[in-house]
Amino acid sequence: MVCSGQIGVQSGPDGPALVPGGFAAQARQALDNVSGLLDSQGVGWGHVVKTTAYLADIADFGAFNEIYVEALGPHRPARSVVAVSGLPMGALVEIEAWAHTAA
């Protein structure tokens, strides 16, 4: 299963919007959004074999790493983190995941 890139958005009365609170809030919401997609397919973070995180500012790597470790617990899939010049809706972080599911 491939979980396409998720940014820190929530649905609201006017449609999807970035969550307030800056990088940390967006990172947590993006991870929550990935979790929701995994859950919808009957899998969890323990099935994830690879993630890629795109950061608008690589200086946020330390904060991202702390939030990521907190969210995934002891599970450590392969991971890439790259800096990019822009993300949808002006997001500060985007996360995609690849999960192994039984055929």
Q: Which residues contact 31 (CB under 8 A, 6 or more apart)?
A: 67, 68, 71, 95
Quick check: is 12 in a domain? Answer: no
CA torsion angle 49 9 55 58 (round to 10): -120
Q: Within a 10 A sphere around the Cβ of 41, how many other Cβ atoms?
A: 12
CATH number for 29: 3.30.1330.40
The reply to whether the predicted model has a pTM over 0.85 is yes
Question: pLDDT tens for residues 55-101?
Answer: 999 999 999 999 999 999 999 999 999 999 999 999 999 999 999 98
Residue 41 lies in a domain: yes
Domain assignment of residue 95, given as a range: 25-99
Considering the domain boundaries, does residue 71 fall inside one? yes
Quick check: is 4 in a domain?
no
* 6 is a domain residue: no
- Considering its fold, how many domains does the chain have in total? 1
Q: What pLDDT digit, counting tens, does each position of 17-47 carry?
A: 999 999 999 999 999 999 999 999 999 999 9
